[in-house]
Structure 1
Amino acid sequence: MKEIFNLKNLAYFTIMAMPLYIFRFSILGVPTNVFEILAIVSISLFFIRVVGSKIKLEGSKTYLMPIIMVLAGLLISALYNDAHQSGFGIIKSWFIIPIVFSWISLQLSEDRKDILKAMHGSAFLVACLSLLYFIAGETTFDGRLQAFYNSPNFLAMFLAPSIMIGVFLLKENKKIYSMTLSVMLVSLYLTQSYASWIAVFIAMILLLFLKKDLLKRNFILILMLIFILFFSLQKGTDKLNRFTNMEERSSAASRMMIWSSAMKIGLDNPAIGIGPGNFQNKYLEYQKYFPPYLEWAVPQPHNLFLAFWLQAGVLGIVGFLWILFLWFRKFIQKNEKQKEDYICLGIIIYIMVHGLFDTTYFKNDLAVIFWLIIFYYEKHLSQGDRCGEYFNRKCKTKA
């Protein structure tokens, strides 16, 4: 029983419980949610054990400076723009807790592939529950599946990284991962999130060309068939017509208008930004500079890089780009790459490609996914000689 109820498994359970952030409440007036409580418990227990041990907190300094830049940019922008309540909440829930929890989860993991499996398991459970919503007829006004999320795109952004995990784990257990992938692909299709489909396709194609694999051609063929099938089934639908139609009120025209407004907002506030959580208000304020908006409820600018610039200023966007640069450098410098390395690369590529059309970070679960992948290559903490087991059982060092 002790092997089941340990800190490592609590971290895995918390990763699987990422979607529970939808259950929100307040403690002493501070907004929080179920996922945050689980993450805070994991973090607290981890550092309690660190204090009582000889472990040196020296294993993970690569991203320290750019993370400080991002947090400083967010804080300065929040203070300057009087976005105190929303700003501090975003810094806590979408940055500090995901960053610290993701880091300690990878420190606790003996086999880091288990982190990816926990992410995949969480997405599979969400996909199963989402299909129940669809069977019950719970879809958006235009027939898209969003389940318990605020948008079909949020559901798609959560499922997509785990679909790539499943593809690369197929060889380990074809029966299980074929089943989980099938459920997730059906759910992803029902979201009708075209940007997500395209981003997954691009990421997988790039990976399959980079990774030397005997099944490469078969995988590419299967991916192309799935991609073609997804869009062929959309032929004649209002969603596809709005997507391809470049007329004044098309989906593409709406997205262009949002980006134009976001760019003007950014150019008017280039250094400090507008503060985290302030885009909706600024977007409406800038209506006077544009023809009547096609969309009014726009909490984010539908672009990952614009979102960081607008909400964290120059410090934030430079820090974010620096983090990505450091991660890619680590990937390139690693000599013997394993399949999980390519999984991580695929997820980062997906986040960046889909991030050109949506904001693939500013949600609790998406933030955790991002940082789990970013910290994947970080060294474990040191306790004498390196050990394979941390905190869960006694760590035996060489004499």
Structure 2
Amino acid sequence: MDITFIAIFVAWAVLVFHYPRFFTILLSFEFYGIPFTFVEWLTYATAFALLIVYRKRALKWFDEFFEGNIFRKIEFWVFAFFVVNVVSVFIVPLEFRNQALGILKGWIFAPIVYFFIVKGFIKNLADARRLLDAYLGSAVVLSVIGIYQYMHGILIDNRVTALFTSANYLAFFIAPAFVYAAILAWQNIRVIEMPWWKKVFIKLFRKEVDETNTAFFFAYLGCALITGFALTATNSYGAFIGVIFAAILYSIYHYCFSPWRQNLHSSVQRIVIFTVLLVAFLGLLVPKLDAWKFNTLFTFKDGTSSAIRLETWQVAGDLIAKNPVMGIGLGQFQNEYSAHAEETLGRAPVRTSMLHPHNVFMTTWLYSGIIGLFVFLAILFQVFMLLRNKNSDVRRRLIVVLAAMMLVIVMHGFVDTPFWKNDLAMQFWLIAGCAFGLSKK
């Protein structure tokens, strides 16, 4: 199967999810009373077509699934995650069960199907790069919209949101893309410095070529600057923390394990280039940002962002203590928060309604139960264990980039709730699918 089709699908997915006033109306429909978006339809249609065309391959895979230690297979943990969330639907009160079924369909099932499509049909480095480049292109489009908002003062709480209702959602989506673009630009600097004879040698004798050139450097650098500017304008500290940890992870790989590591002189040149660009952009941006959020970062009262999070975590912790095994069911935090926040806090909360617990691990525990949390952590563990996989150097290099992108999501998840949203779930499983697809022998 041509991976370009999947890349086009990703671009469509972003448009459908992030421009609901137009695309949802035109590209959603009902089937026997069940609502579907265009993205879900395309996911299921693609999966169905692939099962028909590759039915022998699918049957062979099913037979081989139970061979060996299934606990080491990512497919087992992905199936387990789906099953525990199916169970979570049935602990939801009947009046909210349709909502839970919608979450199961749009946030769990469709993204998991997409994961298997991506994982199954990535054959080489070029396939993964095309898919990730399509995702990056979508992030650039959203970032350009965010920059336009910033330049024209169209802000919510002094933060850009692009087509989202919240700046945090924009940060969720573009932060991993920024890391991808920045690292790819970094990797391509070496091409400018490389002598011509070495380029010829690599092209002739490497089994799997890491295609790099000067044009890639400027393309990825431009994407990094655009997404980086928009990310800074979201003023999302959780995203900033995630990016910092991703940079640390990649730096450890680059300077300790990468066959492309270079001497200090070359590294200094890179650091100087990126520092100058960073200072130039921040110099333009910072004076216009509202300093109130930063100044109140450690103020846990008077309606600050930190105070709201602390209240939310208190309520979430109390709900976990009362429902430690099964949780509260898919998508039920908003209802439970409204019903129990005042009782838990002993006073009226700053916000009477809260969609998520502002922590991806608390959210997973509450929505999927303690088993769901364990399975989710096992999936993350499997992703990061790919760093030990004995792949070719060029594949391992991109797997490290994917691990850095996943680390952005994980670190951001300590202070907010990525993953638990249809588009963010697609993003999560896209990164995981590319990583496991590249790890295949």
Give the alignment's TM-score, normalised by structure 2. 0.77
Which among 260, 285, 295 is matched to residue 339 of structure 2? 285
Does structure 1 conserve the Cα–Cα contact (< 8 Å) formed by 2:92 and 2:328?
Answer: yes
Q: What is residue 112 of structure 1 aligned with on the other side? A: 128
Question: Following superposition of structure 1 onto structure 2, how do residues 1-399 of structure 1 map, counting pairs within 5 Å?
Answer: 7-19=2-14, 20-21=16-17, 22=20, 23-24=23-24, 25-28=28-31, 29-51=33-55, 56-57=60-61, 62-82=73-93, 83-110=96-123, 111-140=127-156, 142-170=157-185, 171=188, 172=212, 173-212=216-255, 213-214=261-262, 216=267, 222=274, 226=278, 229=282, 233=287, 237-287=291-341, 288-290=343-345, 291-334=347-390, 336-337=392-393, 338-378=396-436
CA offsets per residue over residues 135-154 of structure 1, 9 Å max, x none?
454321x2211121121101
> Deviations for 1:206-248, whole angstroms, at most 9, x for unmatched residues?
3212222335556567469849948964776222233243444
The Cα shift of 1:378 comes to: 3.4
Gaps in structure 1 of 5+ consecutive residues: 1-5, 387-399
Question: Runs (4+) of structure 1 moved beyond 6 Å?
Answer: 52-55
In 1, the alpha carbon distance for the partners of 2:268 and 2:120 equals 37
2:218 maps to a residue whose letter is K
Amino acid at match of 1:210: Y
Cα pair 2:118 2:437 within 8 Å, conserved:
no
- Structure that is richer in helix per residue: 2
Distance, in Å, in 1 between the alignment partners of 2:130 and 2:172 is 21
Letter matched to residue 42 of structure 1? T
User: Secondary structure at the residue paired with 2:362?
Assistant: helix
Are residues 54 and 79 of structure 1, via their aligned partners in 2, closer, same or farther at CA, if it must alter by over 3 Å?
Answer: closer
Q: 1:395 matched to which residue of 2?
A: none
Q: 1:333 to 1:155 in 2, by over 3 A?
A: same
Tell me the CA shift for residue 349 of structure 1. Answer: 1.2
Question: How many residues are paired up?
Answer: 377
Distance 1:53 1:74 in 2: 28
Separation in 1, partners of 2:59, 2:362: 40
Match for 1:47: what amino acid? Answer: L
In the alignment, what sits opposite 1:396?
none
Counterpart residue type for residue 407 of structure 2: I
Q: Which residue of 1 aligns with 2:198?
A: none
Between the aligned partners of 1:43 and 1:309, the Cα distance in structure 2 is 29
After superposition, the CA RMSD in angstroms is 2.9
Confirm or deny: 8 A CA contact 1:11 1:42 kept in the other structure. Answer: no
Change (3 A) 1:48 1:233: farther
Determine the C-alpha separation between the residues in 1 that align with 2:414 and 2:370. Answer: 18
Distance 1:43 1:219, change over 3 A: farther
Counterpart Cα distance in 2 of 1:371 and 1:223? 32
1:208–1:216 contact (8 Å) kept in structure 2: no
Alpha-carbon separation, structure 2, partners of 1:95 and 1:101: 10
Partner of 1:367, secondary structure, is helix
Q: Are the counterparts in 2 of residues 208 and 220 from structure 1 also a CA contact under 8 Å? A: no
Deviates more, 1:67-76 or 1:332-341: 332-341
For residues 315 and 69 of structure 1, the distance between their equivalents in structure 2, rounded to whole angstroms, comes to 9
Measure, in 2, the Cα distance between the counterparts of 1:53 and 1:64.
16
Taking the aligned partners of 2:287 and 2:298, their CA distance within structure 1 comes to 15
CA distance 1:379–1:235, change in 2 (3 Å): closer
Which structure would you say has the larger RCO, counting Cα contacts within 8 Å and 6 or more residues apart? 1
- Once residues 384 and 12 of structure 2 are traced to their aligned partners in structure 1, the CA distance between those partners, rounded to angstroms, is 28
Aligned-partner residue type, residue 129 of structure 2: K
Change (3 A) 1:305 1:68: same
Residue 357 of structure 2 aligns to a residue whose secondary structure is: coil
Give yes or no for contact 1:87–1:277 (8 Å, CA) kept in 2. Answer: yes
- The one-letter amino acid of 1:165's match is Y
